[in-house]
């Protein structure tokens, strides 16, 4: 679910389920996010998740524990015609796929990421 306010701010809720072959449901939860424009074509973005169904989403030492996955960053829209987006962010998430979005890096380490989004429509 996604809602955009008149000023350009937006909030979203993304349910996420992860299945592993022969293991059935491995992880499941929700991601909550928001973006707020700070300048023309530049937004601050933030997202946090909660693992509801899994047995833990991060290895802290040698133990599997539940940790809140989060991301904060900037999103820049350099070209209104192309729809291209560039992102720079800090995160403790393991990855950006739906399965990895609820997983947290070992020992809750923070990583730096960059992203390029090219909207292709058929």
pLDDT in tens, 9-66: 999 999 988 776 666 667 788 999 999 999 989 999 999 999 888 788 889 999 989 9
The token duo for 44 is 């601050």
Query: Is the Cβ–Cβ distance between 58 and 105 less than 8 Å?
Result: yes
Domain ranges of the chain: 2-117
> Is 70 exceeded by the pLDDT of residue 112?
yes
3-state secondary structure at position 102? helix
Q: Where are the alpha helices (DSSP H) in 1-122?
A: none
- pLDDT at 80 exceeding the cut of 70: no
**pLDDT-based confidence at 86, cuts 50/70/90?**
very high
Q: What is the pTM of this model?
A: 0.84
Asked if 9 and 34 touch (Cβ cutoff 8 Å), the reply is yes
In terms of Cβ atoms closer than 10 Å to its own Cβ (0-12, 13-18, 19+), residue 106 is exposed
């Amino acid at each position: 679910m996604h809602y955009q306010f008149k000023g350009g701010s937006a909030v979203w809720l993304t349910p996420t389920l992860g299945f592993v072959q022969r293991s059935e449901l491995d992880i499941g939860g929700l991601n909550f996010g928001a973006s707020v424009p700070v300048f023309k074509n530049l937004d601050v973005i933030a997202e946090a998740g909660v693992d509801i169904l899994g047995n833990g989403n991060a290895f802290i030492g040698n133990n599997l524990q539940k940790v809140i996955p989060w991301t904060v960053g900037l999103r820049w829209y350099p070209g209104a015609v192309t729809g291209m987006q560039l992102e720079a962010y800090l995160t403790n998430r393991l990855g950006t796929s739906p399965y990895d979005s609820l997983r947290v890096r070992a020992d809750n380490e923070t990583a730096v990421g960059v992203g390029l989004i090219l909207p292709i429509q058929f």
